[in-house]
Amino acid sequence: MMNNKLKGMRKAYKKKDVKAMIKSHNIGDLKKFEASHHHYEGRYLKSIVYGGLDGIITTFAVVAGVAGASLSSGILLILGLANLVADGISMAVGDYLSSKAERDFYSTEKEREKWEARNYPKGEKQEMIEIYMKRGLSRQDAQRLVNIISKKKNLLVDEMMIEELRMINDVKSSPAKNAVTTFISFFIFGLIPVSAYITDLIFPGTIKNPFLFAIILTIIALLLLGIAKFKFTRKHWIRSALETLIIGGLAAGVAYLVGYLLSGLA
Give percent above pLDDT 70 in the chain: 84
How much is the pTM?
0.73
How far is residue 135's CA from residue 242's CA, in Å, rounded to a whole number? 38
pLDDT beyond 90 at 68: no
How far is residue 76's CA from residue 197's CA, in Å, rounded to a whole number? 8
Cα angle at 204 between 202 and 205, to 5 degrees?
145
pLDDT beyond 60 at 31: no
pLDDT score for 170: 67
- Which of 94-103, 171-180, 188-197 bottoms out in mean pLDDT, i.e. has the lowest? 171-180
Most confident of 54-68, 155-169, 222-236: 54-68
DSSP, res 235: S
Question: How far, in Å, are 83, 88, 126 from residue 94 at the CA level?
Answer: 16, 10, 39
pLDDT score for 124: 85
Q: Which amino acid is at 59?
A: T
pLDDT score for 162: 86
Average pLDDT of the chain?
A: 82
